[in-house]
Amino acid sequence: MNSTGMHKGARGAGAVMTALILGAGSAAADIAPADVWADWQDYLRGFGFEVSATETETADALELTDLTLTQTLPDGAGTTVFTIPQITMQDNGDGTVGIAYPEDLPIRIEQSGPETVTVDMRYLTDNMVSNVSGDAARMVYDYTADGIGIRIDSVAADGETMDLGDIAFDIEAVEGRTVMELDGGRIANQVVKSGPATYRLTMSDPEGGDLDMNGRFDTLEMSAMLNMPEGVDGADMTAALAQGFSVEGTYAFGPGASAFEIKEEGTTTSGSTSSRGGKLSVAMDADGLAYGAMSEGLVAQITTPQLPVPLSMEMEEAVFDLAFPVAKAEAPQDFGLNLLLGGVSLGDTAWALLDANGVLPRDPATIALDLEGAATILADIMDPSEMMRVEMGDEAPAELNAMTLNRLLVSLAGAELTGMGDLTFDEGVENGFGGAVGTASFKLTGANTLLDRLISLGLIDQSQAMMARMTLGSAAVPGEGEDTLVSEIELTPEGGIIANGQRLR
């Protein structure tokens, strides 16, 4: 499937699944099934869907059959069609509306275009109770379920069905609330909590190879916010962001574990992971797109035929934060990156292979990187046609203007490197470093001791160690403390490199 279709289809699928979860939604002013259905249509049309269904009204219910949602993809990439057989909106007689699906609800997703893809899936519910209250300007969806599940039954590309095996996701003890407010636009706030969640994936490659993966989390919790001003077309994300569209979400997961097994060519590779929990986040508005991920207490183990013993590692904390602009503009815009792999330690079997005699210190390793900067965005990142033009041509989507290294830390095997710096970039400056001008400072401790230990282990020889020491000596000078080197590096507009006051170039 081409990238344009995938990105647009993913946003569309998100809107459809949100609508299902809403139905999956305390009491105030009266509301009728027709009000809820009208709001669903308005919501889905805001994301570029054409909505059609057969409507059957009774005295106290509205039954929707053959619900079809069609979205046209940009640049001639085709269309995406969602088909849902049946949804019932029931007047509860107390000013609220109940929403019911079959407990086993089939859904078909079809994408046509250069490549035709069909996905058949099922939305499973167990003892779901879903009610909508409020009025046409403010609808409150409250929902509970003993369980909610998703099954992917088949995926076909250009008529050829893939051998997927099982693809399943289940959550238990679900409860949530979504508030939809209409006031010159739409503001939605959603909170969903659940008990245990499990997933399973099995696949077979026709050319050989089988994958079996499964996992669980003890708890899941999601919060999300969407702001869609009046008149915004959610299918045109570049224009929507410029008009004030914004969305953010946080997904927290409790303690969990996973396992996988890969069989190919008569061999088996297997592994497992566990963690104390973590969090994922995403936010998007006119200022840009931000992703965040965090996990604590990660333990991983792998067994592979290429190694004589299983290997394991532990990581106390892993953090990844990335924020960057997405809208084309003449002025520079801010970006940032924060990465932390903290408290990484290898298991005893790994150390036995690398260093059976305990020559190297076995203190946990840490890698940290914190940088920020500014860039001029030359193409709208959320516009599929512009990104396709960038991919097909030689034009870069952005121009780097400035970068600040707030923190660099690499602590490993008894050695430690720290650093910070400031650089500006000017494409008009031809100095061999992309127009970079500025300074950076570094401190390295334990390097010579580490080289000696690597020699004793036979991992490097004397000549390689000498070359490494000569390289360090050309760019660094002794600092305070034993086995300490420091370096102040300057890149000049003329293309010069100055290290600790001495010109290297």
Number of Cβ within a 10 Å radius of residue 43: 22
Q: Is residue 69 part of a domain?
A: yes
With CA atoms as reference, report the closest residue to 196 among 226, 166, 175, 170: 170
Identify whether 366 is part of a domain: no
CA dihedral 28, 33, 39, 42 (to 10 degrees): -170
pLDDT in tens, 393-407: 777 889 999 999 999
pLDDT at 256: 97
> Does pTM surpass 0.95?
no
Segment 13-60, tens digit of pLDDT: 555 555 555 544 433 458 999 999 999 999 898 888 999 999 999 999
Q: Which of 35-44, 77-86, 460-469 bottoms out in mean pLDDT, i.e. has the lowest?
A: 77-86
- pLDDT for the residue numbered 18: 52
Neighbours of 316 (CB within 10 A): 17
> Rg of the chain over CA atoms, in angstroms?
28
The pLDDT value given to residue 25: 42
Assigned domain for 111 exists:
yes
Instruction: Please write the tens of the pLDDT for every residue from 161-195.
Output: 887 889 999 999 999 999 999 988 999 999 999 99
Judge whether 162 lies within some domain. Answer: yes
**363 belongs to a structural domain:** no
At residue 482, φ and ψ (nearest 5 deg) are -75, 140
The amino acid present at 82, given as its one-letter code, is F
Residue 39 falls inside a structural domain: yes
- Looking at the 3D structure of the chain, how many domains does it have? 1
Domain-located, residue 110: yes
pLDDT in tens, 410-428: 999 999 999 999 999 987 7
- Domain with 232, as residue range(s), is 1-240
Per DSSP, the residues of 426-447 read: -TT--SSSTTEEEEEEEEEESH
Lowest-confidence segment of 112-116, 287-291, 489-493 by average pLDDT: 112-116
Give, in order, the Cα–Cα distances in Å from 288 to each of 242, 332, 377.
11, 13, 11
Range of weakest confidence among 2-16, 69-83, 244-258, 303-317 = 2-16
Determine the number of helices (DSSP H) and then strands (DSSP E) in the chain. 7, 29
Tokens for 61?
């219910």
Distance CA 435, CA 226 (A): 40
